[in-house]
């Protein structure tokens, strides 16, 4: 729909330079819920929900993580990503390949593996116009912006050796909350964006101020993960706070991806835990979070 995306100032823009605001859905960890990576599921999200982007959350360390599992497990995860990318390409959807660090809080832990992974991904998909690379989900545990930058530079170079144009999203400190810190000293390079994450029941005015500070400094922000529950991914849902967040994103044309496409028995899962369908979900199959995301995206 928008052609090859690029970054202009703090905006994500289409092939004609017009501002684009993508809205979509993230998978849960691919090792946990591979069944939702199928063309009919993505088509349901596109046609019924209005999704324009799918995020593929590939964990690096947790359960069958890419960097902790076997070589066969790595092969299977790459095959799953390839299946997803090809489905998205056929459906006209954008797709984010997410290096999903969590317990390995410092992205340097698997920097060597990240460089090799993203170089191979960029080589394979250099001819695609719909692939976006998210190179470090949620740095945490006191990892500084300077440390993230020293990780990101060689990984970005590895991608750029294969693809000079793809949009690359860089994680920010404190679980992708400190975008104001990144805005004070952004990385040099083109088509770079910075990840920001929030969970509406936990994160309110203080975090919105951080985002506004970053925007005022001209930082290109992409909300690669959000939920309307607590930061744990579970707990209380606050729709009033969720609406405040989405109003702010809409006002600033910030793209956003909801966590997560699964039937896990927790508040952030978009499907009811009793729903066994792999695609073709009706609104009645959705959780409270799922119904909110579904209704919000259909408005667009």
Active site residues: 138, 225
* Encoded tokens for 18: 């017009």
By C-alpha distance, which of 76, 75, 94 is closest to 85?
A: 94
Tokens, residue 110: 């698997």
d(CA 5, CA 14) in angstroms, rounded, equals 5
Tokens representing 205? 């005015």
| Cβ atoms within 10 Å of 28's Cβ, excluding its own | 23
Assigned token pair, 226 = 């959000």
Rounded Cα–Cα distance for residues 295 and 300 (Å): 9
* CA Rg value for the chain: 17
Helical axes 111-125 vs 145-160, angle rounded to 10°: 40
* 100: nearest Cα among 74, 62, 142: 62
Q: State whether residue 156 is helix, strand or coil.
A: helix
How far, CA to CA in Å, does 97 sit from each of 105, 239, 286?
Answer: 18, 29, 25
Q: Pull the structure tokens for residue 131.
A: 């692939």
- CB burial readout 259-295, b (16+ within 10 A) else e: bbbbbbebbbbbbbeebebbeebeeebbbebbebbbe
């Amino acid at each position: 729909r928008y052609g090859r995306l690029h970054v202009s100032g703090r905006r994500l823009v289409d092939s004609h330079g017009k501002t684009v605001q993508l809205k979509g859905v993230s998978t849960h960890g691919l090792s946990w819920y591979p069944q939702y990576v199928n063309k009919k599921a993505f088509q349901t999200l596109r046609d019924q929900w209005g999704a324009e982007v799918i995020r593929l959350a590939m964990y690096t360390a947790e359960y069958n993580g890419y960097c902790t599992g076997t070589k066969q497990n790595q092969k299977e995860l790459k095959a799953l990503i390839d299946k997803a990318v090809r489905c998205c390409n056929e459906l006209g959807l954008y797709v984010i390949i997410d290096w999903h660090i969590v317990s390995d809080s410092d992205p340097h832990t698997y920097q060597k593996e990240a460089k090799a992974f993203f170089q191979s991904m960029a080589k394979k998909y250099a001819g695609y116009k719909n692939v976006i690379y998210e190179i470090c989900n949620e740095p945490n545990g006191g990892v500084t912006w300077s440390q993230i930058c020293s990780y990101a530079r060689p990984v970005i170079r590895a991608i750029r050796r294969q693809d000079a144009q793809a949009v690359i999203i860089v994680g920010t400190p404190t679980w992708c909350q400190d975008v104001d810190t990144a805005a004070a000293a952004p990385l040099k390079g083109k088509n770079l964006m910075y990840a920001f994450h929030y969970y509406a029941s936990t994160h309110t005015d203080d975090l919105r101020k951080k985002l506004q500070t970053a925007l005022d400094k001209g930082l290109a922000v992409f909300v690669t993960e959000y939920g309307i529950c607590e930061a744990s991914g579970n707990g209380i849902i606050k729709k009033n706070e969720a609406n405040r967040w989405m109003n702010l994103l809409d006002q600033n044309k910030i793209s956003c991806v909801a966590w997560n496409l699964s039937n896990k028995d927790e508040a952030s899962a978009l499907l009811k835990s009793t729903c066994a369908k792999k695609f073709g979900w009706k609104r009645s199959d959705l959780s409270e979070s799922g119904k909110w995301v579904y209704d919000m995206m259909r408005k667009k």
